[in-house]
Amino acid sequence: MKKEFKGRNVVAGTVQAQSVVSRKGMNTLATFQKSILAKKKTVFGSDQNNEDLYKKEITGKALCLPKTIGSTTGGMVLQSAAALGLAPKAMLFSESIDSIGAAGVILADVWTVHKIVTVDNLGQDFLDYVKDGMTVTVKENGTVIVE
């Protein structure tokens, strides 16, 4: 069964990917840092405080979450992950995007060729519905289809 959600485009685009879901805020630095510093070809969540993402593949996925948390370096970490081709294909926020997440996806869009399609304000129903491994399609107009 598929379900459609409408949000606000932050970085518009069309993409399809498998979902990886965090029910709580994602610490960007803690999640990406270990894989980036080790020069891995794929990011696996390294934040032990986020059991939803810990040791799960994030590269090329539709990352579904309420918000990002952590230090202001988080935006640059997202941009760096994009520049290295390690970022998720999409970041889909149930809440309004926070400044850390916004900085990262906008910097990635402006400074790299690896855009992170980003939609926010998808609502709690979105986060309650989506589960790991579902197919998520993001449309140019901010519509997100989960099946």
Q: Do 104 and 28 meet the contact criterion of CB atoms below 8 Å apart?
A: yes
Q: Can you give the pLDDT at residue 71?
A: 85
- pTM, two decimals, is 0.96
Non-local (6+) Cβ contacts of 39 within 8 A are none
Q: At 119, which amino acid appears? A: V
Regions in the chain scoring below 50 on pLDDT: none
Give the ranges where 10-143 is alpha helix by DSSP (H).
28-37, 74-83, 99-111, 124-129
Q: Do 26 and 71 meet the contact criterion of CB atoms below 8 Å apart?
A: no
**What is the CATH architecture of 3-146?**
3-Layer(bba) Sandwich (3.50)
* CA 19 vs CA 22, 39, 68, 99, 124: distances in Å: 10, 24, 17, 23, 16
Q: Can you give the pLDDT at residue 72?
A: 86
In the chain, what are the domain boundaries? Answer: 3-146
